């Protein structure tokens, strides 16, 4: 059974790297505050603690547990929208 989990974890890590190489990425929101959001990327078990800027449109809200689409801008990511 642990072999399957390791294989799945390896697949998640490969998929995460593929997204990062394209300039786009998916992540899960850990927390939201006025400064931005903290995120967990596929293949990670917890947030790194870094805050990422988010879309400031008042009709777009984010909450913990949501999957989000990120765009790579100037060496970091900006949260664009919710996914799903």
Q: What is the pLDDT of residues 41-81, one digit of tens each?
A: 887 888 888 888 887 778 888 999 999 999 888 888 889 88
Q: Which two tokens stand for residue 17?
A: 């790297």
- Helix runs in 1-84, H state only: 2-22
Q: Global pTM?
A: 0.70
Helix (H) or strand (E) holding 34: none
Q: What is the pLDDT of residues 38-52, one digit of tens each?
A: 999 887 888 888 888
Say what percent of the chain tops pLDDT 90.
21
CB 14 within 8 A of CB 21: no
CB 11 within 8 A of CB 19: no
Domain 2-82 annotated CATH 2.50.20: no
Q: In the prediction, which pLDDT does 67 show? A: 94
Q: Which of 77, 24, 13, 83 is nearest to 51 (CA)?
A: 77
């Amino acid at each position: 059974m642990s072999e399957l989990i390791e294989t799945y974890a390896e697949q998640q890590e490969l998929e995460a790297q593929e997204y990062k190489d394209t300039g786009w990425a998916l992540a899960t929101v850990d927390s939201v505050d006025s400064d931005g959001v903290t995120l967990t990327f596929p293949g990670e078990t917890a947030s790194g603690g870094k805050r990422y800027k988010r879309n400031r449109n008042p009709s777009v809200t984010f909450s913990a547990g949501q999957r989000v689409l990120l765009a790579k801008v100037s060496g970091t990511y900006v949260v664009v929208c919710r996914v799903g």
